[in-house]
Amino acid sequence: MKRISTVICIILSLGILGCVTTGGKTASDKRQSVLTMKNEVLSDLYKLKPDVKSQLSSAPGYAVFSNVNINIIFASFGGGYGVVKNNKTGKHTFMKMGEVGIGLGLGAKDFRAVFVFHSANTMKRFIEHGWAFGAQADAAAKASDKGMAAAGEATIDNITIYQLTETGLALQATVKGTKYWKDDALN
């Protein structure tokens, strides 16, 4: 039974990570898809929290990520993609992300995250090293514009993080490790 559970978890995580991809066939199309996602997420965030617009413009930089997460009893898997924008230079750094966690949970969630970097060194460290580790507890029941989701805001290590749930049905309390890294194919 334990082997069957492990195989199911691996298959589901690979399936999810395979679905989490940018649109388009060429690198240029994929970059444009990520930038379109970034603009849509920021537009949604500004509607919910208009003051974030000035916070982003005065920060050294920010990142926007799209993430899909699955929780199966004691395991959590996720993956996604995004972009970091350096406000001083205007440069975009395209990135990927993956996460794995343990804890109690069940469900799937499609969410977006916006990271506001309050120092240039913090942004550089995020791009160069990209690890994040944290605990998460939330509930989401949302499909398109119907339903409810707990959106979060936290400030950690000179980074303010905003999370918006797109769709999903999930109840989770997990400890996760998340890795962010440069997307060599798009940079």
What are 76-134's pLDDT values in tens digits? 788 999 999 999 999 999 999 988 877 766 666 678 889 999 999 999 999 998 876 55
Which are the contacts of 31, defined by CB distance < 8 A and separation ≥ 6?
22, 92, 94, 186
Residues 128-137: pLDDT tens digits?
988 765 544 4
Q: What is the pLDDT of the chain when averaged over all its residues? A: 77
For residue 113, give both structure tokens: 């995250």
Closest by alpha carbon to 159, among 128, 178, 132? 132
Over residues 45-62, mean pLDDT: 94
Over residues 5-25, mean pLDDT: 52
Q: How far is 68 from 81, CA to CA, in rounded Å?
A: 10
Q: What is the pTM of this model?
A: 0.76
Domain locations in the chain as residue ranges:
2-182
